[in-house]
Structure 1
Amino acid sequence: MKICRFNDNRLGVVEGDNVRDVTEALASLPAASYPFPSHDVLIENLMQIRQAAEQLAPRAPTFALADVKLLSPIGNPGKIVAAPVNYKKHLAEVLGDPEIHNDNQISHIQRAGLFLKATSSVVGASDGVALRKLDRRNDHEVELAVVIGKAANNVSREDALDYVAGYTIGLDITIRGPEERSFRKSPDTYTVLGPWLVTSDEIAKPGELDFSISVNGEVRQKSNTRELILGVPELIEFASSFYTLQPGDVIITGTPEGVGSIKPGDTMFAEVENIGSMQVAVRDAQEG
């Protein structure tokens, strides 16, 4: 199932070029009171939401996808876990380009570990990217994003996929410079998730997906997740050995070679096999 959030926090089921409004399914979520859960309650209760959505969909109002505003499919992620230099060719690219590494220490992912991005950086495809620090290089990075479905602590790679709720496309926008990585990657709008969540039952082999990104029609990055240094199961094992992953936590798995700069007025088009595609506009943060 393809599940999206759209317009004014509506819940939808995507079918072809249309979305069915199944917001009524949210009534099946348990009531919450302060202090509210720090994870995503919808993802925690995804099975119930799916069942309710399936019952509602045949009679639900239908909208054209082209006419709705697509929000991040994950409304309340507790953590955005990111994998640095997780493709061999990208590692070589980073090491060979001073404009990318800026004399920062670059290590193999097994040594460098993972890093966190601010959840306040998350937006959906229709929100677009608002660039800051325009005197510096801002780069696109396209990635497969993995959404955790249940609490995962010290999970083995053999069992890791059992903890996945689904997959989406991730754009990890990056300001180049000397500061620590998570700082430069956490401005508002610098984590784009979308266009929707594809439930894990529809993607049996996340390690065999073609994906790409183009800017203004020019293909910049094109690869396959089989080129990952640490695949999805290994990343879940690695992350959960340090901290518990919670429902709605997102792992962006790393980007391949071909990272490049973007500027206000650009249009990015990202695509991942078996998930879909999204178009994302780039603007100047100073212009709102």
Structure 2
Amino acid sequence: MRLALFNDGRLGVVDGDYLVDVTEQLVGTGTPGPAGALHRHIETTACEGAAPLDLSGLTRVPLAEAVLEAPLPRPGKIIGAPVNYLDHKAEMEYTTSIADLGVFLKANSSVIGPGQDVLLPYTDKRTDQEGELGVVIGRTATHVDAADALDHVFGYTCVLDITVRSGEDRSTRKSFDTFTPIGPWIVTADEIPDPDCLNLRCDVSGGTRQRTNTADLIFGVRELIAYTSSVMTLHPGDVIATGTPAGVGPLSHGDTIVLDIERVGRLEVGVDGTLAVPYARRPGRRAR
């Protein structure tokens, strides 16, 4: 099942060329809050289990006419996996990988959805695209064994981990507003029995920059969940970005980024540099 947010926070099931509005059926009539209706559904499912869903007689909206939003507009946590492909390690000339670095956190305020724009912060610092498979946690996980890790997954989505190449810590360079496009929906885990065997491709303005298969991850999805849950408790609705392959590159005003992951979906966003400023003019800059 593919679950999306659309048209001002409605929750829909993708059914062919239509979105079936299941908001009341899955989350009731109350206000879901800033985390969104899908986040509430994931939390409810974790507590009560998934109930059978009958789509007959429900409102249908043509997918082509719907305005898709980030399926999780404010996840509890966004966890990143640095240097989790060997080819990316080689291209960036890193001497370490995720096995040495561990994971990092991104601000949940950096999330945007399909069709929105990544805002470039600086005119003179390179900002790159990083296409990644996103894992959405469905059950609380702490010190989970790799063999049991997929039992804690609600589903999968596309994630772009946008990154400024400057000197700050990863969590700073990757947490600017708009730096975590997510979408276009979440595919439930039952549709993807093996997340470590998915083709991934990321294009920028029509040219392919990244192409890989998640089989090439250093820490596969199971190992990544096991490791992360040994450090921090994972809660329903948390998102793990599993890492990016070789092919990261600079973004420019007017670019279009398209991330396509097999069996998951196609996420497209734009790039806007009209508000970018010189790096030396950033707030907090001090002469040494």
Same-fold call, TM cutoff 0.5: yes
Match in the other structure for 2:185: 196
**Secondary structure of 2:92's partner?**
helix
Do the aligned residues in 1 keep the contact of 2:73 with 2:112 (CA within 8 Å)?
Answer: no
Which of 192, 197, 215 is matched with 1:208 structurally? 197
- For structure 2, list consecutive stretches of 5 or more residues without a partner in the other structure: 277-288
Tell me the distance in 2 between the aligned counterparts of 1:51 and 1:121: 32
Choose 216-225 or 9-18, whichever is displaced more.
9-18
TM-score normalised by length of structure 1: 0.88
Do the aligned residues in 1 keep the contact of 2:114 with 2:181 (CA within 8 Å)?
Answer: yes
How many matched pairs?
272
1:49 is displaced (CA, Å) by 9.0
Q: Quick one: structure 1 residues 189 and 24, their matched pair in 2 at CA, closer, same or farther if it must change by over 3 Å?
A: same
**Secondary structure of 1:41's partner?**
helix
Match in the other structure for 2:67: 69
| Residue 120 in structure 1 maps to residue 109 in structure 2 | yes
**Secondary structure of 1:206's partner?**
coil
Tell me the distance in 1 between the aligned counterparts of 2:124 and 2:49: 45
**Secondary structure of 2:115's partner?**
helix
1:126 is displaced (CA, Å) by 2.4
AA aligned opposite 1:44: E
1:31 is displaced (CA, Å) by 9.1
| Residue 267 in structure 1 maps to residue 265 in structure 2 | no
1:65 is displaced (CA, Å) by 2.0
- For structure 1, list consecutive stretches of 5 or more residues without a partner in the other structure: 97-105
Tell me the distance in 1 between the aligned counterparts of 2:273 and 2:45: 36
Do the aligned residues in 2 keep the contact of 1:29 with 1:41 (CA within 8 Å)?
Answer: no
Do the aligned residues in 1 keep the contact of 2:76 with 2:237 (CA within 8 Å)?
Answer: yes
**Secondary structure of 1:161's partner?**
helix
Do the aligned residues in 2 keep the contact of 1:73 with 1:195 (CA within 8 Å)?
Answer: yes
Match in the other structure for 2:2: 2
1:260 is displaced (CA, Å) by 0.8
| Residue 25 in structure 1 maps to residue 14 in structure 2 | no
Q: How does 1:94-109 map to 2 (within 5 A)?
A: 94-95=92-93, 107-109=96-98
Do the aligned residues in 1 keep the contact of 2:141 with 2:229 (CA within 8 Å)?
Answer: yes
Do the aligned residues in 2 keep the contact of 1:41 with 1:247 (CA within 8 Å)?
Answer: no
| Residue 12 in structure 1 maps to residue 12 in structure 2 | yes
| Residue 145 in structure 1 maps to residue 145 in structure 2 | no
1:81 is displaced (CA, Å) by 0.5
Match in the other structure for 2:286: none
1:200 is displaced (CA, Å) by 0.2
AA aligned opposite 1:182: S
Tell me the distance in 2 between the aligned counterparts of 1:177 and 1:76: 26
Q: Quick one: structure 1 residues 89 and 217, their matched pair in 2 at CA, closer, same or farther if it must change by over 3 Å?
A: same
Cα RMSD (Å) of the superposition? 2.3
Do the aligned residues in 2 keep the contact of 1:28 with 1:49 (CA within 8 Å)?
Answer: no
Report the structure, 1 or 2, having the larger helix content. Answer: 1
